[in-house]
Homo-oligomer: A and B are copies of this chain.
Amino acid sequence: MGRLTHDMSNRSIFIYAHLDEGARELVRRSLPKARLVFAEGGKSPDFREANQDRFQSCEVCFGNVPSYWLQSVPHLRWLQLESVGFEYYQGVPALSKSLVFTNLKGLFSRPAAETMLAGLLASYRGLSQLALAQAERRWVCQEVRPQTQLLHGRRVIVLGHGSIGRRLRSLLSAFECHVQSFARTSTEAELRTVDNLDRALPEADVVVSCLPQTPETRGLFGRHRLALLSATAIFANVGRGSVVDETALIEALQQGRLGGAVLDVTLEEPLPPTHPLWSCPRTILLQHTGGGYREELLDKAGAFLANLARFDRGEPLENIVTLAHGY
C-alpha cells in the first residue's frame, strides 16, 4: 500500500475494525496528526459502554460497531465497514440519513472464489477423506479413487453476479463448466427471474450462492426450491447462510436427496459443537475462511486509508452502500 501522507486534518477517527499490529502501525504512520481511537478487542459490556462515549465524539469510524451505537451519533459522518456484508445495519431505527456507509466490495472476491473452488474440487476429488486418512496413516486409494468425479464440464448455476460470482465464473470456465448466473438486475446474467431459475435447477450439477443477505435473498433456497435439485447435485454457499433453509438442507443431505454441500457460511457462526451440519454426509464446511488471506488486514487498512484520502479531499467515496432505513 505504501505510505499515505494525506493527513490533512486532525480528525477524530474511531477504529473498531479487527486489525493486527502491522495494520494498526500502517494506520498510525499514515495519519500522524489524526486523533485515533483504537477500540477493537474489548467484548465486555463495560468496555462497550466506555467506548460508545468516545465513539460519539468521532467524525469517522472504521469497523463494524454494534448497530445500536448508531442511534445517536451527532458527529459521525462516515462509517467504513470492515466487511462486504452490511446486513447488520439494515433497518436500524433512527439512523441518520446523512451518515454515509461504505463497504469493502471486491477485497474478498479472489480468496472467496478460490476457497469455493477448493471446496468444490475437494468434494469431487475426495480430499476430505484423504486428509482424514492421512492423519491416521491409512492408504485409502482403493476406496477413494473409484468414487472421485470430475468438475470438468459440469452444469453450474451461480447465484449472484457481483465480484465473487464473476470471479468464480471465470475460474469455472477453465474447467469447461456450463455456467449460468442468476441475478435479477444484471443484463449479463442468463437467469433473471425465479421462474427461469426453477426451470434450470433440475439440470444443475452444482448451485453456488454468492448472494448477500438482504430481505430479498433471505430464504430464497427454501424446502421447495432445494427439492428441485437432483440427488447428485452439490449445494454450495459462499454468500450468507440465511439464503437457504438449513433444516431442509440438512434433511436432504441426511436422506440422500442431495449429492453434497460445500458451505463457507452458515446461519450460526461460529457453528456450535452440537450442530448437525458438522457430521452431515458429503458436506464440506469451510468455516467462513473464504474471504481471508495473509495480507487481508493490511489491505483492509489500506482500503480505509485510500477512502479517507478521498474524504479529506472532498471527493466521492468508493463503495458507498445504500441501506434500507428502519424509519
Contacts and interface: CB of A to CB of B under 8 A. Distances in A.
A285 B111 contact: no
A13 to B, nearest CB: 24
A127 B137 contact: no
Interface stretch (A43-51, A170-178, A245-253, A315-323): A170-178
B141 A289 contact: yes
A110 interface: yes
Kindly report how many copies of this chain are found in the complex they form together.
2
Interface stretch (A67-75, A94-102, A118-126, A216-224): A118-126
A286 interface: yes
Contacts of A110: 150, 152
Contacts of A124: 114, 118
23 contacts: A110-B150, A110-B152, A114-B150, A114-B175, A115-B125, A118-B127, A121-B122, A122-B122, A122-B131, A130-B285, A130-B286, A131-B284, A134-B278, A137-B275, A138-B273, A139-B271, A141-B287, A144-B289, A145-B289, A145-B292, A145-B296, A146-B296, A147-B294
Interface residues of A, number: 60
A152 B111 CA distance: 9
Contacts of A288: 141, 145
Contact of A285 (B20, B134, B284, B286): B134
Contacts of A1: none
Pairs A-B, 3 closest by C-beta atoms: A174-B174, A145-B292, A118-B121
Interface of A: 20, 110-111, 114-115, 117-119, 121-122, 124-128, 130-135, 137-141, 144-152, 170-171, 173-175, 269-271, 273-275, 278-279, 284-289, 291-294, 296-297
Given A110-B152, A111-B148, A122-B127, A140 B287 contact: yes
A124 B119 CA distance: 12
A126 B293 contact: no
B146 A287 contact: no
A133 B132 CA distance: 10
Given A110-B150, A146-B294, A121 B132 contact: no
A4 B268 CA distance: 55
Given A117-B121, A130-B286, A131-B132, 11 more contacts: A114-B151, A114-B152, A122-B127, A130-B289, A139-B271, A141-B270, A141-B288, A145-B288, A145-B296, A147-B294, A149-B294
Contact of A150 (B111, B119, B145, B274): B111
A117 B293 CA distance: 18
Contacts of A271: 139
A132 B132 contact: yes
Contacts of A151: 114
